[in-house]
Amino acid sequence: MKPAANLVLVGPMGAGKTTLGHALAERLGLHLHDLDRAVELAAGASVADLFAREGEAGFRTREKAKLAELLAGDGALVATGGGAVLDADNRRILRARGFVVYLPVDVATQLARLAGDHTRPLLARPDREQVLQDLAALRTPLYREVADLVFDTTGLAAEDAAAQLADRLATQWMRQGATA
């Protein structure tokens, strides 16, 4: 069992990190921080606007600073953006300051979940399926590298997934010496 100050959800876009995060935060009495939203609030601009103005590198710099800030304290539940694991420093802080749950999802499910979403800069291309396959090839090993637990939500409603994950966390994650 890995005692950790914070709980972190990682995985590709469309994995359900934010949706599951809301349900899980309520069950566990934690405050949910959506990393992309926290970056947007701090910057006063959407992720898409930041990508357009500063490029992906500018966004990733902001993301890295905000992740470090959110994980500096204790008792947070952080839903990361899909690319947060790309930075080696981010992976180090995730492992050091969080119990990391990787939420895998297949490309077909991503496509279905993201069909009406046109806000994601990396999907602003004609071949969304190929983009998601390419991202998965690059990022899946990084998600696995930081994961303390892999939890597949395929076919589960958010509340059912939160209940099952909360049960797993009760036996596999301790926060500050107390079982979650």
Q: Give the β-pairing of 6-10 and 98-102.
A: parallel
80 is in an annotated binding site: no
Structure tokens at 7: 């709980």
How do residues 88-114 score in pLDDT, each as one tens digit? 999 999 999 999 999 998 888 888 888
Q: Give the model's confidence band at 170: pLDDT under 50 very low, under 70 low, under 90 confident, else very high.
A: confident
Annotation: CATH topology of 2-175: Rossmann fold (3.40.50)
Residue 44 annotated as lining a ligand binding site: no
* pLDDT tens-digit series, residues 138-148: 999 999 999 99
Tell me the CB-side half-sphere exposure of residue 14, using CA atoms within 13 A.
Answer: 24
Is 109 a known ligand-binding residue?
no
CA–CA separation, 147 and 48 (whole Å): 28
139 is known to lie in a ligand binding site: yes
Q: Copy the structure tokens of residue 172.
A: 């596999």
pLDDT of residue 6 exceeding 50, the answer is yes
Instruction: Confirm whether residue 113 is marked as ligand binding.
Output: no
Q: If DSSP states are collapsed to H, E and C, what string results for 113-173?
A: HCCCCCCCHHHCCCCHHHHHHHHHHHHHHHHHHHCCEECCCCCCCHHHHHHHHHHHHHHHE
pLDDT range class, residue 176, cuts 50, 70, 90: very low
- In the chain, the percentage of residues whose pLDDT exceeds 90 is 58
DSSP characters over 39-63: HHHHHTS-HHHHHHHHHHHHHHHHH
- Assessment of whether the complete model's pTM goes beyond 0.75: yes
Q: 168: annotated binding-site residue? A: no
Q: For residue 153, say whether it is annotated as part of any ligand binding site.
A: no
- CA-to-CA distance for 59 and 80, rounded, in angstroms? 13
155 is in an annotated binding site: no
120 close to 33: Cβ distance less than 8 angstroms: no
Q: Alpha-carbon distance 152 to 15, whole Å?
A: 9
